[in-house]
Amino acid sequence: MKKITFGTDGWRGVIADDFTFENVKVVAQAISEYVLENYENPTIIVGYDYRFHSENFAKVCAEVLSSNAIHVLLSKQPIPTPALAHAVVKKGVSGAIMITASHNPYYYNGIKFIPHYGGPANTQITDKIVKNVERIQKEGLGSLNPDEKLIEYFDHKEEYINDVLNLIDKKAFEGKTLKVLVNPMYGCGIGYVDEALKRLGCEVKVINNWRDPLFGGHLPEPNLENMKDLLEVIKSEKFDLGLATDGDADRFGVVNPDGEYISANEVIFMLADYLIKTRGKASSIARTVATTSMLDKIAEKHNMRCIETPVGFKYIAECLMKEDSLIGGEESGGLSIKGHVPEKDGILADLLVAETVAKLQKSPKEILKSIESEYGKLYNKRIDVRTTSQKKEEALERIKNFGKSEVAGLKCTEYRTRDGLKVILEDMSWFLVRPSGTEDLIRIYGESPDEQKLEKILLDVRGYLGL
Ligand SMILES: O=P(O)(O)OC[C@H]1O[C@H](O)[C@H](O)[C@@H](O)[C@@H]1O
């Protein structure tokens, strides 16, 4: 059987293969033991997404927690991961279990653990939980005695929407009626972004806003490939903006009125530039090793630090909590800001983009153009290589022994190894190779001020890795 591991963000498994009721009980028991060891009189919130059986997996978790005499608050309906994280902080509880496989294919489900600080569990915490899992698997689960009296039900939608709206400059919307197309991708964002936009006075059209555990035949990941339906609608009617969220609404997706997809890298630097100009001072911006260096340029201009972390929002969360970061983001589509929970929030990101567009009275593309005219343009690309596990091992071995001093005719000036291998090249171009912690693939990322050079760099790197 596949080992239960907590990767970049929680445990994910194939439903009925390794993601079974039995294994969910084991993980819930492991979390219960961790919670009992670390919190006095703990209360744990349990939430779930719209996937197949999610509400039933959540009920099982609540039962396991209650049989450990832990007080449980179980969500009455599917809830976005960021709203659950917000509930943890607002209610001052010990943590939350979220049943979701985020943007993975429909046949997956998963468990995220959110500790008391309202962000993704860090590696120290998940290592302890995994140790518990291994012990429980060896010793057997034993009998459970759920205590219904310890399980209460809650609804956090209103409180979350109100608090998120308090982070938005409502004046930016006054006297304008922004027309927005919203796509929650059959996921937890249903009734959140659209509702919040309506309260800001926007005219909203929503697509894909009912439960479909097959996600309309696509991955619930708001990228170009999975949002063809949104692109068609936005091109055929007149909108100011297209906004999306992923399966559990922690990731965002943004589309220009002409149907052009705005990448997560672009959204993050657009918001960084906007927030620096409109919000109070902060000391830093945080980004993962795979995210655009445009953030470094923007931070430098404003005498701020730009902190580089490994991939995973748990690392960005640390910066938001400890490094006074104004915004923390990652190219996979996650961001949060100072004053909010340290969990990536696709709903908040979408609303901030709407605010930026309303305030500046320009399309996202126009805003990006003006930022790029100030800082220069950077081209970036990510290639996800699905390969056999043997080839993957070989490629990772080759990364470890990477001895080249030149790539695509450019000198290598720095080698960073905190997450895979990142090589900085002489003209500020860079590439990164790392194994994904959520899927069975190797990711190759690159960035350069020159589009052709970028292609050459990526080609050379793939050649070297034999991928
Ligand atoms: O590149 P991976 O290890 O697959 O991770 C990709 C992404 O997965 C999840 O969504 C995590 O929450 C993110 O923090 C991470 O960036």
Q: pLDDT, tens digit, for every residue of 141-150?
A: 989 999 999 9
pLDDT score for 467:
83
Q: Please check whether residue 268 lies inside any domain of the structure.
A: yes
Whether the Cβ atoms of residue 5 and residue 11 lie closer than 8 Å to each other: yes
Residue whose CA is closest, atom 15 of ligand 1? Answer: 312
Please say whether the beta carbons of 442 and 431 come within 8 A: no
Same domain, 430 and 300: no
Task: Give the end of a domain, one of 121, 156, 191.
Answer: 156
What b/e readout covers 261-279, taking b as 16+ CB neighbours within 10 angstroms? bbbbbbbbbbbbbbbbeee
Q: What is the largest CA-CA distance in the chain?
A: 68
In a domain, 170, yes or no: no
**Do residues 317 and 407 share a domain?**
no
Verify that 13 and 150 share a domain, yes or no.
Answer: yes
Would 406 be classed as within a structural domain?
A: yes
* Cα–Cα dist 16/19, whole Å: 6
Q: What is the 3-state secondary structure (H, E, C) of the chain?
A: CCCCCCECCEEEEEECCCECHHHHHHHHHHHHHHHHHHCCCCEEEEEECCCCCHHHHHHHHHHHHHHCCCEEEEECCCCCHHHHHHHHHHHCCCEEEEECCCCCCCCEEEEEEEECCCCCCCHHHHHHHHHHHHHHHHHCCCCCCCCHHHEEEECCHHHHHHHHHCCCCHHHHCCCCCEEEEECCCCCCCCCHHHHHHHCCCEEEECCCCCCCCHHHCCCCCCHHHHHHHHHHHHHCCCCEEEEECCCCCCEEEECCCCCEECHHHHHHHHHHHHHHHCCCCCEEEEECCCCCHHHHHHHHCCCEEEEECCCHHHHHHHHHHCCEEEEEECCCEEEECCCCCCCCHHHHHHHHHHHHHHHCCCHHHHHHHHHHHHCCCEEEEEEEECCHHHHHHHHHHHHCCCCCEECCEEEEEEECCCCEEEEECCCCEEEEEECCCCCEEEEEEEECCHHHHHHHHHHHHHHHCC
CA 334 / ligand 1 centre spacing (Å): 9
pLDDT of residue 235: 92
444 is in which domain, residue-wise? 379-465
- pLDDT for res 466: 85
Does ligand 1 come within 6 angstroms of the Cβ of 330? Answer: yes
Q: Is the CB of 438 under 6 A from ligand 1?
A: yes
Per-residue tokens: 125: 């915490």
Ligand 1 atom closest to the Cα of residue 251 is 10
With a 6 Å cutoff on the Cβ, whether 12 touches ligand 1 is no
Task: Provide the 10 A C-beta neighbour count for residue 151.
Answer: 18
Closest of 454, 462, 120, 123 to residue 293, by C-alpha: 454
Please report where in the chains the tokens 């996600």 appear, as a residue.
215
From 321, 344, 367, the end of a domain falls on 344
Global confidence as pTM: 0.96
- Asked whether residue 229 is assigned to any structural domain, the reply reads yes
Q: What is the reported pLDDT for 201?
A: 98
Q: What is the CATH number of the domain that holds 450?
A: 3.30.310.50
Does 230 lie in the same domain as 288? no
Per-residue pLDDT of the chain (467 residues; tens, 9 = 90+): 678 988 778 999 999 999 999 999 999 999 999 999 999 999 999 999 999 999 999 999 999 999 999 999 999 999 999 999 999 999 999 999 999 999 999 999 999 999 999 999 999 999 999 999 999 999 999 899 999 999 999 999 999 999 999 999 999 999 999 999 999 999 999 999 999 999 999 999 999 999 999 999 999 999 999 999 999 999 999 999 999 999 999 999 999 999 999 999 999 999 999 999 999 789 999 999 999 999 999 999 999 999 999 999 999 999 999 999 999 999 999 999 999 999 999 999 999 999 999 999 999 999 999 999 999 999 999 999 988 878 888 888 888 888 889 999 999 999 999 999 999 999 999 999 999 887 778 999 999 999 999 999 999 999 998 88
Q: Which pLDDT score is estimated for 389?
A: 77
Residue 317 CB–ligand 1 contact under 6 Å: no
Pocket test for ligand 1, best of 81, 221, 313 (most atoms within 8 A of CB): 313
Which atom of ligand 1 lies at the shortest distance from residue 330's CA? 16
ipTM tops the 0.95 cut = yes
* Nearest Cα residue to 261 out of 241, 246, 245, 247: 241
Q: Do 258 and 268 belong together in one domain?
A: no
Q: Phi/psi of residue 305, each to 5°?
A: -85, 150
Question: 152 and 10 in one domain?
Answer: yes
Q: Specify whether 31 is located in the same domain as 152.
A: yes
Ligand 1 pocket residue status of 443, Cβ below 6 Å: yes
Tell me how many domains the chain contains: 4
- Judgement on whether residues 243 and 269 belong to the same structural domain of the protein: no
Does the C-beta of 246 come closer than 6 Å to ligand 1? no
pLDDT of residue 1: 66
Could you identify the atom of ligand 1 that is nearest to the CA of residue 313? Answer: 14
Whether 196 and 111 share a structural domain: no
